[in-house]
Amino acid sequence: MTPAEVIADIVRRSGALRAHNIWIAPPDDAAIAPWLIYLSKRDMETAPLWGVPFAIKDNIDLKGSATTAACEAFTYLPERSAHVVGLLLQAGAIPVGKTNLDQFATGLVGVRSPYGACTHPDRPEHISGGSSSGSAVAVSCGLASFSLGTDTAGSGRIPAAFNRLVGYKPTRGLVSTTGVVPACKSIDCVSLFARCIEDATLIADTMIGFDEEDPRARPNSLANAPARSGIWSGRLKLGVIAGAHLQFFGDPAYHEAYHRTINLLRQSGVETTTIDFTPFQEAAAELYRGPWVAERYLATLPLIEEQSAALLDVTREIISIGRNPTAADLFRSQYRIAELRRATNRALADCDALLFPTAGKHYQLREVEDQPLVSNSNLGYYTNFMNLLDMCGIAMPGADTQSGLPFGISLIADGLQDAKLMAIARRIEATLSPNGSAHPAAREYRDPNSLEVVVCGAHMSGLALNWQLLERGATLVCETHTAARYRLFTLPGGPPYRPALIRDKEHGQSIDVEVWRMPAENVASFIELVPPPLGIGSVDLVDGRTLKGFICEHGGLDGAEEITRHGGWRRYLQSEPH
């Protein structure tokens, strides 16, 4: 199919779903035509998203299309696209329309819009989740291959959970917010909805780009690039919430789906450890009960002061609270957030990532109408803390409820660990949705913050040079053996006495070694200590892995004694006096 044929099909099917209020500016042949012309001038070989249709939440600018933030009185026509939209256009993606949202991105429900409550055609009695409701439903209904949302309190994750999607909330600052109507400007994020982790990884790699015009932009490292994430292999330990803090707000179906999801992961070999959820709860409370709502008030000035009737009652009620906090309130909250971040980091230190339910209950429309503030607050129970604590997250499908409703889980890690989180998400997806990822056989993820080093001699536990590892924060991973293709020698000189490991496929055998994990920032100083003829190269292990470790130049063996027959340095030392 040509891009034009794809767009024609999207326009036709969007019209048939008009009653579900997915769009503010729906797909339209005339509006999309200029982007098809632009696409025709792009080289498919250099445009990784060539011809891929995407939707844009209507608080993100697209040149030539009005931005409303779901408030007609606020509407303006941007002169250029948001920075993130520009990156996607350069990559060949086609914008198909602007999606409905909770007004000014204030809400997690998807019903706070003068353009109507956005609902999924398969589940019209249930909310779609907000504030990025239209962006999620557009992808879920196949009207876009991916979409952009925003996520300040969970708006990019709650709709993902209710629509069986992947919702990626990046580390704050990695994706530019230039050209995005702010909600809470200091902690806003542009988020992404996709159908699987593989898609999310490709698109996120395009979205992330340092923007000089964004004062909150943060440069990403090559090690944290989504495209380099791979798939997590080996031991995986996830932090989960202790039962006393789990909340499902009277929804037994979600309660059962959560425990069934956790059991499926445990059966696949995933380890879990309980963490204290209290500091996360306290941080979440700061977002709406603390001074941060003042940022929402600033974002809507002068409209809320001069034309307050233009806002929905519930939106106006929430934002108006922002008049009240003082500078003292803000500083007090910042101090508390810093304390809570220290506590939550301790929870992260004991596991590879956290795994929480994305939402505790899938509300029906009538329930939200009856208790709009309570239902919205409950939806943020597992999400509101994340941006204040500078974390990144991925919402993804868990096990559906017994009646077939989508249930979602969220993986959470510290900021600037996005690639690590994507690698873990691939592993989880392969367990819960084996057909979900287009390329499940991705390369193995390697933690960029540490390096595993193979040692075969004086650096082994308890021996003469082991202190060089310990003072650099290295920890013992395992005792193991090389593949059966190495010979071992003892070099002349000492103390300390040193071995030399060389590769020899014809005459070699398996040699005892240890694997130590060292923080990446200390590796260079460790290498500086390695004297010739020794060096750091690649060592093959018996389990098939190849890691960095001690090797020796063949020319450095003059005067060396071969000790391969002992099978290892420690056994050699035990066999003869030294």
Pair 250, 127 in one domain: yes
**pLDDT higher than 90, residue 575:** no
Contact 106, 69 (CB under 8 A): no
Provide the pairing of β-strand 166-169 with 391-397.
antiparallel
Average pLDDT over residues 301-327: 92
CATH number of residue 560's parent domain? 3.10.490.10
Token pair, residue 257, equals: 């789906």
Query: Among the options 14, 57, 375, 437, which is catalytic?
Result: 57
Structural domain for 38, as ranges: 3-432
440 lies in some domain: no
Order the strands of the 146-150 sheet from edge to edge: 23-25, 94-99, 53-57, 146-150, 190-194, 166-169, 391-397, 408-414, 353-357, 237-241, 271-275
Q: Is residue 48 part of a domain?
A: yes
Q: Amino acid identity, residue 154?
A: G
Q: What mean pLDDT value characterizes the chain?
A: 94
Q: Are 358 and 257 found together in one domain? A: yes
- Are 65 and 98 members of one domain? yes
Which residue type occupies 444? E
What gap in Å lies between CA 90 and CA 46, rounded to an integer? 9
Asked if residue 235 belongs to a domain, the reply is yes
Asked whether residue 529 is domain-assigned, the answer is: yes
| Statement: residue 169 has pLDDT above 70 | yes
- Which residue, 432, 458, 479, sits at the end of a domain? 432
Of residues 472 and 222, more confidently modeled: 472
Give the span between the Cα atoms of 84 and 79, in whole angstroms. 15
Is residue 376 assigned to a domain?
Answer: yes
Q: Which amino acid is at 260?
A: R
- What pLDDT does 31 receive? 95
Q: Indicate whether 401 and 500 sit together in one domain.
A: no
The answer to the question of residue 437 being in a domain is no
pLDDT average, residue stretch 499-519: 94
Asked if residue 386 and residue 496 are part of one domain, the reply reads: no
Burial of 81 (0-12, 13-18, 19+ CB in 10 A): buried
455 and 389 both lie in a single domain = no
Whether 392 and 518 map to the same domain: the answer is no
- Residue where one domain finishes, among candidates 402, 432, 462: 432
In a domain, 441, yes or no: no
Q: Please tell me the pTM assigned to this model.
A: 0.87
Each residue of 389-435: pLDDT tens digit? 999 999 999 999 999 999 999 999 999 999 999 999 999 999 998 65
How far lies 319's CA from each of 1, 67, 103, 304, 342, in Å? Answer: 46, 20, 11, 8, 30
Q: CA-to-CA distance for 438 and 109, rounded, in angstroms?
A: 31
Statement: residue 235 has pLDDT above 90: no
Residue 442 falls inside a structural domain: no
d(CA 530, CA 540): 20
Number of domain units in the chain: 2
The DSSP secondary structure of 360-372, one letter per residue, reads S---BHHHHHHSH
Domain boundary among 380, 398, 432: 432
Residue 445: the pLDDT is 81
User: So what's the pLDDT on residue 434?
Assistant: 62
| pLDDT band of 449, cuts 50, 70, 90 | confident
Between the alpha carbon of residue 352 and those of residues 99, 395, 396, 397, the distances in Å are 35, 16, 17, 19
d(CA 422, CA 426): 6
Q: What is the CATH number of the domain that holds 125?
A: 3.90.1300.10
pLDDT in tens, 30-76: 999 999 999 999 899 999 999 999 999 999 999 999 999 999 999 99
218 and 146 in a common domain: yes
* CA distance linking residue 395 with residue 397, whole number of Å: 7
Active site residue 57: yes
Give yes or no: residues 389 and 518 share one domain.
no
Task: Sheet with 534-540: list strands edge to edge.
Answer: 475-481, 512-519, 450-455, 546-552, 534-540
- The rounded distance, in Å, linking the Cα atoms of 178 and 218 is 13
Whether 243 and 189 map to the same domain: the answer is: yes
415 with 454, same domain: the answer is no
**Neighbour-count burial of 190, counting CB atoms closer than 10 A to its CB (0-12 exposed, 13-18 middle, 19+ buried):** buried
Taking residues 277-287, report their average pLDDT: 95
pLDDT in tens, 252-274: 999 999 999 999 999 999 999 99
**Residue 438: what pLDDT?**
43
Residue 437 has pLDDT above 60, yes or no: no
Q: Based on the domain organization, do 104 and 180 belong to the same domain?
A: yes
- With H, G, I as helix, E, B as strand and everything else as coil, classify residue 374: helix
Task: Note if the bond before 495 is cis, omega within 30 degrees.
Answer: yes
pLDDT above 80 (res 161): yes
According to DSSP, the residues that pair with 147 across neighbouring strands are 55, 193
Q: Beta partners for 518?
A: 451
Catalytic residue chosen out of the listed positions 65, 145, 147, 155: 155
Tokens 């200390």 locate to 522
Q: Are 146 and 84 in contact (CB under 8 A)?
A: no
What's the Cα-to-Cα distance from 373 to each of 183, 290, 398, rounded to whole Å? 18, 16, 27
Model pLDDT for residues 518-533, shown as the tens digit of each residue: 999 999 999 999 999 9
155 is catalytic: yes
| pLDDT tier, 440 (very low <50, low <70, confident <90, very high otherwise) | very low
